[in-house]
Amino acid sequence: MMEAIRCKDLTKIYPEVTAVDHLNLSVAQGELFALLGVNGAGKSTTVKMLATLTAPTSGDAFLNGKSIVHDRAAVKAMIALSPQETAVAPNLTVSENLALMAGVCGFSRNLAARKAEEVAKIFGLQPQLSRRAGKLSGGWQRRLSLAMALISEPEILFLDEPTLGLDVLARSELWDAIRALKGHVTVILTTHYMEEAEALSDRIGIMRSGKLLTVGTLSEIKEQTGCDKLEDAFIRIVRGGETA
Amino acid sequence: MRRLSAFCARVAKEILRDPLTLAFGLGFPVVLMLLLSAIQSNIPVELFEIAHLTPGIATFGLSFLTLFSSLLIAKDRKSALLQRLYTTPMTARDFILGYTLPMLPIAILQTVVCYLLALILGLSPTPYLLFALVAAIPNAWFYISLGLLFGSALNDKQVGGVCGTLLTNLSAWLSGTWFDLELVGGAFRKIAYALPFVHAVEWARAAQIGAWSAALPHLWWVLGYSLAVTCGAVVLFLRQMRRI
């Protein structure tokens, strides 16, 4: 198994709370790993540290061998993030948003335009290319947000609550797009939706109060807790405080 | 360089496509010039003679650059677009220059529009008028860096109050454009001359007629304030980058 992410005692302490507490985790290349947890569990802080947005208080993590503490530029060159909130430039068209992301990742103008076309095709964004991003529906904005994350061809992709607030249809369409990444892009997905983790992930990690309580495949977690549903298993683990 | 140019293009598009830019950046100074020129034609006042008025209005128009720039930065921070961009290989230098450089051509455009209107309203065409465009650059630098500073420190609602109301009023009242500061005298005059607004107007007035010895003392004030504000803006921008 080629390792894409390795966290070694990754810790983030804020003045009043320990958001992530000595996290040790390994994610394989091409794996889709879901991080579950209630609000304040430390999922988003973990993603922020791995995506170099915030520095760990102690510990380190290695993305394809590069340290998030000592080699941030190399890490940034291989990752992309689709944040929890929709992150698009509202007065730019869909096509310009895609070209912007390709441009800031250093692609030439021609290559940026070609990549924008390719990604738009994958995400079915072609009919919307000339529309301003701020005028799109929530579902289309999320889809664009994901496409913007993928245009730089990242080796590791962080999806922070990618389907939050979407209707069933839009969510299902976005799931298809995420599924298509499996095997060639390493994806870390944080979500509150159990069915999302069930439908998409190869393995699942459950966090509470900054600690990783358990890690395993869906069937392993169900077996470990004796529950048929992930939701029941999640509640049992979080309430019981089982540790990995 | 490609990263910076992609980001500059985005900033320029966001600002130029915002109706606020046209309404306040170009429309408001034009309306003011027409209005004050109409007053001048009915009740002649030396202060509102077109040669005296134009540098004041052109400089006042630049104060809206602070509003445009700070509003864009504050909205970017709120929408998580910056969070996404911070995970790309873009550096702090790319961001700071990217938010600053696209504003300079807009400043020049504002100044050109003011002087074209002034020529229509009776300003004598002289080669020195080209210096008025040069004079706009340090003044624009001051207002643009102020935008970076406020955009890094305040949220979009606060920016509206501070830059849209407070700064434009300060910029107008303490600039000597609308009334002669010598007539008010006392502490008001002292405060006005301790701030950069009146110096920016006096510098533009002197540059417009090529009176360099009179212009330079005012230029030093503007450059000094611009440098101080730029340093503060860079510190605040870097701080908010780390606070994600």
Please, how many CA atoms are within 13 Å of residue B171, restricted to the half-sphere of its CB? 25
A149 three-state secondary structure: helix
Residues in A closer than 8 angstroms to B89, CB to CB, are 73, 76-77, 104-106
Count of CB pairs separated by less than 8 Å, A with B: 88
A88 three-state secondary structure: coil
Question: What ipTM was reported for this prediction?
Answer: 0.86
CA angle A150, A122, B80 (to 5 degrees): 35
Cβ neighbours of residue B69 closer than 8 Å, sequence gap 6 or more: B15, B99, B100, B103, B144, B147, B148, B151
Contact A76 B88 (CB under 8 A): yes
Closest CA to A173 of A148, A152, A192, A147: A147
Is pLDDT at A241 greater than 60 in this prediction? no
**Longest CA span, chain A:** 55
Mutate which: B7, B17, B83, B87, vs A, most A CBs within 10 A:
B87
* pLDDT tens sequence across B202-211: 999 999 888 8
What is the least distance, in Å, from the CA of B237 to any CA of chain A? 14
Is pLDDT at A215 greater than 80 in this prediction? yes
Q: b/e for B47-56, b at 16 or more Cβ within 10 A?
A: ebebebbbbb
Residues in chain A, overall count:
244
* pLDDT tens sequence across B50-70: 988 899 999 999 999 999 999
Which residue in the set A80, A89, A91 is minimally distant from B87, CB to CB? A80
User: For position B44, what pLDDT does the model report?
Assistant: 81
Closest CA to B234 of B143, B139, B153: B153
The mean pLDDT value for A9-33 works out to 94
CA angle A7, A13, A16 (to 5 degrees): 155
Residue B28 contacts A, CB cutoff 8 Å: no
* pLDDT tens sequence across A87-120: 899 889 999 999 999 998 888 888 888 888 888 8
Residues in A closer than 8 angstroms to B81, CB to CB, are 87-89
The single-letter DSSP state of residue A93 is B
* pLDDT tens sequence across B128-150: 888 888 889 999 999 999 999 99
What is the least distance, in Å, from the CA of B1 to any CA of chain A? 8
Contact between residue A61 and residue A7 where contact means Cβ atoms under 8 Å apart: yes
Across-strand partners of B88?
none
Measured torsion, CA atoms of residues B87, B92, B97, B103, in degrees rounded to the nearest 10: 60
User: Please, where are the H alpha helices in A105-227?
Assistant: 109-122, 138-150, 168-179, 194-200, 218-225
Task: Quickly count: other Cβ atoms within 10 Å of residue A243's Cβ.
Answer: 10
The mean pLDDT value for A234-243 works out to 77
User: For position A202, what pLDDT does the model report?
Assistant: 93
Contact between residue B132 and residue B53 where contact means Cβ atoms under 8 Å apart: no
Distance between CA atoms of residues B51 and B60, nearest Å: 15
Cβ neighbours of residue A150 closer than 8 Å, sequence gap 6 or more: A80, A119, A122, A157, A181, A185
Contact A86 B3 (CB under 8 A): no
Contact between residue A144 and residue A136 where contact means Cβ atoms under 8 Å apart: yes
Distance between CA atoms of residues B132 and B210, nearest Å: 9
Cβ neighbours of residue B236 closer than 8 Å, sequence gap 6 or more: B148, B149, B152, B153
Phi, psi of A124 (to 5 degrees): 65, 30
Distance between CA atoms of residues B30 and B64, nearest Å: 13
Is pLDDT at A244 greater than 80 in this prediction? no
Joined tokens for residue B178? 């609308």
The mean pLDDT value for A11-32 works out to 93
The DSSP H or E segment spanning B166 is none
Q: What integer best gives the mean pLDDT of chain B?
A: 89
* pLDDT tens sequence across A44-77: 899 999 999 999 999 999 999 999 999 999 999 9
> Residue holding tokens 């034609």?
B41
Radius of gyration (C-alpha) of chain B in whole angstroms: 18
Q: How far is CA A215 from the centre of its chain?
A: 17
3-state secondary structure B69-131: HHHHHHHHHHHCHHHHHHCCCCCHHHHHHHHHCCHHHHHHHHHHHHHHHHHHCCCCCCCCHHH
> Residue holding tokens 């465009």?
B133
Residue A163 contacts B, CB cutoff 8 Å: no
Put simply, the chain B residues between 81 and 100 with a CB less than 8 A from any chain A CB are 81, 83-90, 94
Contact A106 B2 (CB under 8 A): yes
Contact between residue A181 and residue A32 where contact means Cβ atoms under 8 Å apart: yes
What is the least distance, in Å, from the CA of A181 to any CA of chain B? 19
Residues in chain B, overall count:
244
User: For position B244, what pLDDT does the model report?
Assistant: 66
Dihedral of CA B143/B144/B149/B154: which sign? Answer: positive
Is pLDDT at A157 greater than 90 in this prediction? yes
* pLDDT tens sequence across B146-194: 999 999 998 888 888 887 788 888 888 898 888 888 888 889 999 999 9
User: For position A240, what pLDDT does the model report?
Assistant: 80
Residue B22 contacts A, CB cutoff 8 Å: no
Residues in A closer than 8 angstroms to B79, CB to CB, are 85-88, 90
Distance between CA atoms of residues A241 and B18, nearest Å: 51
* pLDDT tens sequence across B70-126: 999 998 888 888 889 999 999 889 999 999 999 999 999 999 999 999 999 988 888
Question: What is the pTM for the complete model shown?
Answer: 0.84
Please, is A107 exposed, middle or buried when counting C-beta atoms within 10 Å of its C-beta (0-12, 13-18, 19+)? buried
Across-strand partners of A6?
A26, A62
Residues in A closer than 8 angstroms to B13, CB to CB, are 91-92, 96
The single-letter DSSP state of residue B214 is H
Radius of gyration (C-alpha) of chain A in whole angstroms: 18
The single-letter DSSP state of residue A133 is G
